[in-house]
């Protein structure tokens, strides 16, 4: 259970208490998904978790009923928006802990300067330091139930991509395919379509475009990078196809990229480091004469989109069973057009398991 | 033009430069909508705008092509993710301004403590203070093109609600109606469905639930609070209906709420203060014997969801033509169930214009 993992890490951390404030870490530690934490960031929600004693859930009064229904934390305290500062309530909870806390961990990469300055002023004798790495470590290894949510989210998303790609025929607009994909994804019962990046032709040169009114023609590259939110867990998959009929060069580039992709995935097993996978991928690109310019070649996936470990040269985390990795190599043509594939892989006791393939992606998809 | 409004406010502000970092303010000042600013917050994008001289657009290298295509700002500078800190680049741009800046405005309610501390360390002689109110003032009054985007987004959203409500018959699940609404909204060509709050029966006691598997029965209250993103501009509308056949009490409560809603909207005209509307609404609730417990009764809408002015007792901003207000009164039944309606209103030279009504909402919607 998520609660148990976190509880142990907090006890071992040396902190007297940690304070979660981001949507992901509040959801992870409380079990309650408060969507307005993202859309209305001033309206803070927070879990104050002492090393000894029970956690307290701080929410805006408007969210109290949801917090009480969905969280296992019994002690829910509320503030009135605009009348009281959420930080005043967090500070009040901290200051009443016994013994008085001296070292408190906060999310310095989430808490804003405004709220952090207020917390520092209110608790001048408490040392406030960054504790994200504690949450990162807890979230990096998924419970079986989390893996199963992520796997079924990935399957549903891949199926929706596969089916909507069949509708990407010459004469249709980018926007039509994006809407078709989203409709199909909605059939699988996500909370939301979380993001829908789609570009064709010259628009594949953009990293994160929304679908446009561009009318597609035969031979256009089409790339998607899409995801849904399923009970707060992300799917995140990228696929590339050709509208109408592909050229021999397009088929060749895709098949070389796919081969490197498979080689990188093959290297996934316990004990390998995140940075190793980066280097395996980079070496594969060189052998395949593809253009490699990625700061990372993938990331963990969960409640967050880019979770730890990141598949980058600076991250030497050793893989362990229960990690769930999105591997996403990208090749740029001299024109700027990009080929992009992304799969989701569970690290298992003996190696790995690809959980994201509902379609058959080993050859380039065409709608000839 | 948005650029002109902001340029003037910066020149008058006394700041030597202001630094936008939030998705909304970077989009407002640059014209480029970088969606990963929300989903990957460490990957900062920023506009550094000097009081004298041209602005600089700082983005992660992966977003350079989109920034160059969509922004009117010519000077786009990039940092490499994980290799260089975005704050180092922002500080570098600031430190090379001539004359050297002493007062710099930053978004203290967006910039995280981590990045703010780095900026303070890097520029110890620069005074960094909160400049959100400057952006708030610029964005509070919309250009005609912005009003027209918001109005057509609201129309499309209201139409999708109206049509999906007709499908909310006894025996269907909440999730079916939510998916139906989202499919219809996608037909109108938004970038995304931004949020979709839906609850029926006892779930209307929750402020922001996702639709569940709950099977609805005749007499259930059903409430939605939904919105899309249209070229970065939000729609945001709330509506309440009864599944199947309503009771006399439900019709009566709804019609009293609707009357107060209309009275509040009728009070909208230039010169009236945001707080006045709050008090008009509160007085209407008392006359109609409805339960009033809202910290605010609405908000401005634009690139942000809750923009300034907010319709709350603490906000004495005078309304001026070009403001666009979401008015959203809420009544709670003793059971906790809530009735909620929300419309979008443009402040015009002579009064106001309701821009959100595609359906006929003056009587309670039933699917009898």
What pLDDT does residue A199 have? 98
Among candidates B63, B112, B114 on the partner chain, residue whose Cβ is nearest the Cβ of A207: B63
The answer to whether the beta carbons of residues A172 and A215 sit under 8 Å apart is yes
Q: How far is B239 from chain A (nearest CA, A)?
A: 18
DSSP codes joined into one string, B134-163: HHHHHHHS--HHHHHHHHHHHHHHHHHHHH
What pLDDT does residue B4 have? 84
Q: How far apart (Å, rounded) are the C-alpha atoms in residues B217 and B202?
A: 12
Residues B329-346: what's their mean pLDDT?
Answer: 95
Alpha helices in B55-193 (DSSP H): 64-70, 86-95, 113-122, 132-140, 144-165, 174-187
What pLDDT does residue A111 have? 98
Nearest residue in chain A measured CA to CA from B304:
A39
ipTM here: 0.95
**pLDDT per residue of chain A (368 residues) written in tens, 0 to 9:** 578 889 999 999 999 999 999 999 999 999 999 999 988 999 999 999 999 999 999 999 999 999 999 999 999 999 999 999 999 999 999 999 999 999 999 999 999 999 999 999 999 999 999 999 999 999 999 999 999 999 999 999 999 999 999 999 999 999 999 999 999 999 999 999 999 999 999 999 999 999 999 999 999 999 999 999 999 999 999 999 999 999 999 999 999 999 999 999 999 999 999 999 999 999 999 999 999 999 999 999 999 999 999 999 999 999 999 999 999 999 999 988 899 999 999 999 999 999 999 999 999 999 98
Average pLDDT, chain B: 96
CB-CB neighbors (< 8 A) of B66 in chain A? 206-209
Chain A to chain B, count of Cβ pairs less than 8 Å apart? Answer: 142
Q: For residue B257, how far is the Cα from the chain centroid?
A: 23
Would you tell me which residues 207-266 of chain A have a C-beta closer than 8 angstroms to some C-beta of chain B?
Answer: 207-210
DSSP codes joined into one string, A119-150: HHHH-TTSEEEE-HHHHHHHHHS--HHHHHHH
CB-CB neighbors (< 8 A) of B179 in chain A? 186-187, 189
Inter-chain touch B296–A81, beta carbons under 8 Å: yes
- At B288-308, the pLDDT tens digits run 999 999 999 999 999 999 999
Q: How far is B268 from chain A (nearest CA, A)?
A: 23
CB-CB neighbors (< 8 A) of B130 in chain A? 114
Alpha helices in chain A (DSSP H): 2-13, 23-30, 36-39, 64-70, 86-95, 113-122, 132-140, 144-165, 174-187, 248-266, 274-287
What pLDDT does residue A9 have? 94
Nearest residue in chain B measured CA to CA from A231:
B210
Burial of B137 (0-12, 13-18, 19+ CB in 10 A): middle
Give the residue from B350, B357, B358 showing the smallest Cα distance to B319.
Answer: B350
What pLDDT does residue A1 have? 58
Q: How far is A209 from chain B (nearest CA, A)?
A: 7
């Amino acid at each position: 259970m998520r609660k148990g993992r976190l509880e142990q890490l907090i006890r071992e951390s040396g902190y007297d208490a940690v304070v979660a404030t981001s949507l992901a870490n509040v959801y992870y530690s409380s079990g309650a998904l408060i969507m307005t934490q993202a859309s209305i960031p001033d309206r803070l929600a927070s879990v104050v978790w002492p090393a000894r004693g029970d956690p307290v859930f701080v929410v805006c009064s408007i969210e109290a009923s949801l917090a009480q229904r969905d969280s296992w934390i019994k002690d829910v305290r509320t503030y009135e928006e605009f009348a009281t500062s959420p930080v005043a309530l967090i500070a009040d909870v901290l200051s009443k802990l016994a013994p008085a806390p001296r070292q408190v961990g906060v999310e310095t990469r989430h808490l804003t300067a405004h709220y952090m300055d207020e917390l520092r002023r209110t608790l001048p004798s408490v040392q406030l330091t960054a504790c994200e790495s504690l949450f990162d470590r807890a979230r990096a290894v998924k419970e079986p139930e989390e893996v199963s949510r992520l796997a079924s989210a990935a399957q549903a998303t891949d199926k929706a991509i596969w089916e909507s790609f069949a509708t990407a025929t010459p004469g249709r607009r980018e926007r039509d395919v994006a809407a078709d994909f989203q409709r199909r994804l909605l059939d699988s019962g996500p909370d939301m379509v979380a993001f829908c990046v789609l570009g064709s032709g010259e628009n594949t040169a953009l990293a994160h475009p929304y679908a446009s009114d561009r009318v597609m023609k035969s031979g256009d590259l089409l790339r998607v990078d899409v995801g849904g939110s399923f009970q707060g867990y992300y799917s995140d998959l990228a696929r590339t196809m050709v509208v109408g009929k592909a050229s021999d060069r397009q088929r060749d580039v895709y098949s070389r990229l796919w081969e490197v992709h498979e080689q990188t995935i093959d290297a996934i097993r316990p004990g390998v480091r995140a940075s190793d996978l980066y280097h395996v991928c980079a070496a594969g690109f060189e052998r395949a004469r593809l253009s490699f310019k990625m700061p990372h070649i993938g990331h963990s996936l969960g409640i967050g989109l880019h979770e730890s470990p990141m598949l980058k040269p600076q991250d030497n985390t050793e893989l362990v069973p229960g990690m769930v990795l999105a591997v996403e190599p990208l090749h740029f043509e001299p024109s700027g057009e990009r080929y992009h594939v992304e799969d989701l892989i569970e690290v298992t006791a003996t190696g790995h398991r690809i959980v994201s393939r509902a379609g058959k992606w080993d050859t380039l998809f065409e709608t000839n």
